[in-house]
Amino acid sequence: MRAGELKHCCMLQRTQETKGRGGSITIAWVDLGKLWAEITIPTGRVEVAADQLTAVISAEIRVRYRTDIVAGMRIVKGPMTYLVEAALPDNDQTMLRLLCSNVVNP
């Protein structure tokens, strides 16, 4: 892949748990750093959940190969937030294909 195809500057995030005074646990998203990516949206569908129609947008995000990206992390690009469902390396371990779903209310 040529560097020109990785044209979207995104933020990689993961969850962090912190304990409060009363022992309560708060989960927050923390930034891990920026990365350059190619974002494509090959599918979109409408589902019924709790008697309401919800839009599910699936995205495929390609980044340079890294070992620290796992399912459950998030990719943020402007107003769009994507949840990483799977991280699939290519055979040469030069690129990483992230299968993502759209997060409606980040």
Task: Give the CATH number of the domain where residue 28 resides.
Answer: 2.40.10.270
For 27-86, write each residue's pLDDT tens digit: 999 999 999 999 998 766 655 555 665 556 688 999 999 999 999 999 999 999 999 989
The whole-angstrom separation of Cα 84 and Cα 50 is 24
Residues 6+ apart with CB under 8 A from 33: 11, 12
Residues 6+ apart with CB under 8 A from 51: none
CA angle, residues 72, 97, 11, in degrees to nearest 5: 55
Per-residue pLDDT at 41 = 84
Tokens of 30: 């923390």
Q: Are 101 and 94 in contact (CB under 8 A)?
A: no
* Residue-range definition of the domain harbouring residue 93: 3-102
91: confidence class by pLDDT, cuts 50, 70, 90 = very high
Q: Is pLDDT above 90 for 12?
A: yes
Number of separate domains in the chain: 1
